[in-house]
Structure 1
């Protein structure tokens, strides 16, 4: 009986030692996925830490807000912006969807044919009236650019464009120049916005020779108007050098902005061919004829000093090569770029202020339900929010390194339990053997 009593006490002691061993190991010995579940679910990020935070200020309470990104975000965020996160004042994620101005740059046009219905001469001016043919019955006519059929001879004319609903009352829409000279031509007038007029009048100023403009095409282009809110301008860092008979301009784009246009300021008469390359020397296709020109006449100026890639470019640098042949280099007085930004649309709430986080190369792109309601939200009145100053996010403590990491895994936990169990069994067995 005494032997059994001692054995029982030793067994109970072994069991108690095993339990105490489990407490000593603590929660750090639990499998990693169990510890994560105990701490509560978090948004899937793919790992890593965010480097920067910007407060988002809102002027008023609204169901939905729009937030346009700026250069600092593009400079530090992931190139595809997958690491953008919006949080409310409690740190909870705020769902959003992103709209890119670059996605709407592709031309989408409706083209209307017309008929010349009236021609008149008023002193030295020629008046030409055109009627627009609708695309379908009971469908509104809408256009923002007029493209004219030009005379065969060389000319340059100042013109006025008028619009009307009935061909009787007219509204002045704008002025411009139409010309075909020195191998250059301009056959269109772009209006300030889209109009729904059924009639257009072209007034050709000072046209005693009676030049004819027999055809007109009305175009409704979404290219310029749909991207207007996404457009920004800046003066970039630029290096200009003269290499033999070429002028080379290297434009820095370290912020990886989506450059849609390069605008040059210059003086003097010139006509030059140019090419556009990225930083790796790959040629970038451009719209137009690939020529820059500035021609001053007695009472007018013909110019085209803008370089527009077919699609926005995010290369870290652009190189413009202007071929001067035997002429002196052109005088460049100014250079600006026009670039496109992205917009975040997110739902409003009471937990303000909001914050934008970015700068996490390991983050994965979030997936929110709000994208499914994009079409409905686009019809809402969006209130514009603003970004505050950029601030670094405090770095959280890293996980222990060295040999302790394996203790927190499933295999480490199992190995410790087995080792402790074997040790206790061995101790008990030896004690029992001595008792006998």
Structure 2
């Protein structure tokens, strides 16, 4: 009896000791894990997780700042909002950068100049109309890249030439195109190849036997397309076309989450159709223009608008184009291409003692968006024209290398996982002690 009491006391004491050991361990680790994001009393964000991909950055020569444009591989593998992009120098240290998004860089720099029709003449079958542009202010240069004409009221289609001059006597031919009002559509403008500073413009209306009048001209200076040009890329669309009742449906697969700004449809024949655009969730996206596709063939002339352009670029995983055919045969679609916008990344270099080679890493869903002071100097940096850099081939980062120094034990620092492990150790100790004491009975 006395031996049994002693054995029971030892068992209870051993069990209590095991529980106390386990509880002590849990008490030491079960509380809040020190906030690794805090430094010197501030709540700065620190990245977690690991990066999966890297790209070497080629730079031409040492410079204060470099710029590069992102490509499809980055959009495919980086976080959707690009918060996980990091630029590293040759020592592995983070390099400050900022992103300039293509859609954000679009500027509606529109200036409108009125004009006066100062001369009109007939030369053979053609009509010549000369306009003098009115400056916006004294001693301010006139500059424009688009001519908008006041059209006749009746339906018509005319081939035209546009000439420019500084004094109204010497002329330089600038463009050739069509002006028309027909089939519910009209074209009242001629877009020039670039901005010119001419004070006079001449419109030559070819074969104008009807004597059509074009009494007014407005010269526009628009910087929208020029500002977007560096951000635009083109590619053939990955699409599937089906017919459903009186509708043609085209689904564009956008697995790379590219910011699609325009879809160009290649076709043949004559048609005028209503079109709508939807994202992957079935939300209808507003379109630029009239929301119609048309292709009208006239003698020696073809008038067409076969592009679908959302008001805002879309990075939806799928875009669905719906073309309403009514009782007509479906449009013969012979090709589909798209334009998308990329982002420009500008990062700091070091002209003296450059820290190349540089590397871009991405592919970390747990990374937080960095905050660098460099964004505050964006306008000044852009004015200095950063040196052009280029991205190399994409390389997968091995898992152990991606963790980085000291990251391999992060799983051990997760409170719930460590507590669970300590509980298991405590139970195991209790079981071992109980079995040994059982054998001493």
- Give TM-score, length-normalised by structure 2: 0.80
Indicate the residue corresponding to 2:68 in structure 1. Answer: 67
- Note if 1:196 corresponds to 2:197: yes
In the alignment, the residues of structure 1 paired with residue 60 and residue 115 of structure 2 have an alpha-carbon distance, to the nearest angstrom, of 47
Q: Secondary structure at the match of 1:372?
A: helix
Q: Is contact 2:37-2:45 (8 Å) kept?
A: no
CA deviation after TM superposition for structure 1 residue 106, in Å: 5.5
- Note if 1:133 corresponds to 2:143: no
In the alignment, the residues of structure 1 paired with residue 410 and residue 305 of structure 2 have an alpha-carbon distance, to the nearest angstrom, of 62
Q: Is contact 2:66-2:387 (8 Å) kept?
A: yes
Indicate the residue corresponding to 1:147 in structure 2. Answer: 148
Q: Is contact 2:37-2:46 (8 Å) kept?
A: no
Q: Secondary structure at the match of 2:94?
A: coil
Q: Is contact 2:33-2:413 (8 Å) kept?
A: no
CA deviation after TM superposition for structure 1 residue 347, in Å: 2.4
- Note if 1:380 corresponds to 2:384: yes
The within-5 A match list for 1:283-362 is 283-349=284-350, 350-362=354-366
Alpha-carbon spacing, 1:91–1:272, altered in 2? closer, same or farther (3 Å): same
Q: Is contact 2:107-2:227 (8 Å) kept?
A: no
In the alignment, the residues of structure 2 paired with residue 391 and residue 293 of structure 1 have an alpha-carbon distance, to the nearest angstrom, of 45
The within-5 A match list for 1:205-284 is 205-284=206-285
Indicate the residue corresponding to 1:6 in structure 2. Answer: none
> Which has the higher mean CA deviation after the structures are superposed, 325-334 or 167-176?
167-176
Indicate the residue corresponding to 2:409 in structure 1. Answer: 399
Given candidates 368, 372, 397, the residue that maps to 1:368 is 372
Q: Secondary structure at the match of 1:318?
A: strand
Indicate the residue corresponding to 2:393 in structure 1. Answer: 389
Q: Is contact 2:150-2:216 (8 Å) kept?
A: yes
Q: Is contact 1:45-1:362 (8 Å) kept?
A: no
Alpha-carbon spacing, 1:221–1:378, altered in 2? closer, same or farther (3 Å): same
Unaligned 5+ runs, structure 1: 1-24, 413-436
Aligned alpha-carbon RMSD (Å):
2.7
Q: Secondary structure at the match of 1:229?
A: helix
Q: Secondary structure at the match of 1:263?
A: strand
Indicate the residue corresponding to 2:438 in structure 1. Answer: none
Alpha-carbon spacing, 1:367–1:290, altered in 2? closer, same or farther (3 Å): same
Q: Deviations over 1:125-146 (max 9, x none)?
A: 1111111122222322221111
In the alignment, the residues of structure 2 paired with residue 307 and residue 51 of structure 1 have an alpha-carbon distance, to the nearest angstrom, of 36
Q: Is contact 2:38-2:45 (8 Å) kept?
A: no
Indicate the residue corresponding to 1:19 in structure 2. Answer: none
CA deviation after TM superposition for structure 1 residue 405, in Å: 6.1
Alpha-carbon spacing, 1:405–1:280, altered in 2? closer, same or farther (3 Å): closer
Q: Secondary structure at the match of 2:148?
A: strand
In the alignment, the residues of structure 2 paired with residue 126 and residue 248 of structure 1 have an alpha-carbon distance, to the nearest angstrom, of 46
Q: Secondary structure at the match of 1:378?
A: helix
In the alignment, the residues of structure 1 paired with residue 375 and residue 61 of structure 2 have an alpha-carbon distance, to the nearest angstrom, of 23
Unaligned 5+ runs, structure 2: 1-24, 423-441
Alpha-carbon spacing, 1:45–1:154, altered in 2? closer, same or farther (3 Å): same
Indicate the residue corresponding to 1:10 in structure 2. Answer: none
- Note if 1:86 corresponds to 2:96: no
CA deviation after TM superposition for structure 1 residue 383, in Å: 2.2
In the alignment, the residues of structure 2 paired with residue 154 and residue 47 of structure 1 have an alpha-carbon distance, to the nearest angstrom, of 66
Alpha-carbon spacing, 1:273–1:57, altered in 2? closer, same or farther (3 Å): same
> Which has the higher mean CA deviation after the structures are superposed, 216-225 or 133-142?
133-142
In the alignment, the residues of structure 2 paired with residue 252 and residue 163 of structure 1 have an alpha-carbon distance, to the nearest angstrom, of 45
Indicate the residue corresponding to 2:14 in structure 1. Answer: none
Q: Is contact 1:105-1:311 (8 Å) kept?
A: no
Q: Deviations over 1:272-331 (max 9, x none)?
A: 111111111111111111111111112111111111111111111111111111111111
Q: Is contact 2:143-2:221 (8 Å) kept?
A: yes
Q: Deviations over 1:214-235 (max 9, x none)?
A: 1111111122110001000011
- Note if 1:116 corresponds to 2:120: no
Q: Deviations over 1:235-276 (max 9, x none)?
A: 121010001111010011111111111001111111111111
CA deviation after TM superposition for structure 1 residue 62, in Å: 2.8
In the alignment, the residues of structure 1 paired with residue 261 and residue 138 of structure 2 have an alpha-carbon distance, to the nearest angstrom, of 37
Indicate the residue corresponding to 2:108 in structure 1. Answer: 107
Alpha-carbon spacing, 1:407–1:117, altered in 2? closer, same or farther (3 Å): closer
CA deviation after TM superposition for structure 1 residue 340, in Å: 0.5
In the alignment, the residues of structure 1 paired with residue 417 and residue 252 of structure 2 have an alpha-carbon distance, to the nearest angstrom, of 54
